[in-house]
Amino acid sequence: MDQRLLHCSETRAVPLSHNFYQKILEKNTVLIGQNSSASSNGASNTTKIVEHLLKTNEKFIEEAAMKQAAPNGVNINHQQYTNLIPLSFDEQEFIRNIEQQRKK
């Protein structure tokens, strides 16, 4: 049997202090403050690029959406007809009943 499995692990978890989240938030706010000017310019450039791409590729996006939507519509119609309950119908008996009603 493997000896290391018989002993407990020597690494121990260090408990968090009661205000651990405050230290994390303080570090994040300092980093965010330093990068705020660069990120605002980057965000506006990103939105402009995305809007331009959407406008130039609108036709292709619509075609791709229709290719995804069309099979779903066809499958719904197909399921309506494949899930019907089969009904038995005796045509000869139906004709006889009509003829008997006419004779009366």
Q: Could you report the per-residue pLDDT of 32-48, keeping only the tens digit for each? A: 656 555 556 667 788 88
Mean pLDDT on 7-15: 74
Q: Are 54 and 61 contacting, i.e. CB atoms less than 8 angstroms apart? A: yes
Structure tokens at 38: 């660069």
Residue % of the chain over a pLDDT of 90: 4
To the question of pTM greater than 0.75 for the whole model, the response is no
Highest-pLDDT range among 12-21, 33-42, 52-61: 52-61
Q: What is the mean pLDDT of the chain?
A: 74
Q: How distant, in Å, are the alpha carbons of 10, 65, 69, 85, 87 from that of 78?
A: 63, 21, 15, 14, 19
Single-letter residue type at 64: A
Q: How distant, in Å, are the alpha carbons of 15, 24, 74, 103 from that of 35?
A: 32, 17, 51, 97
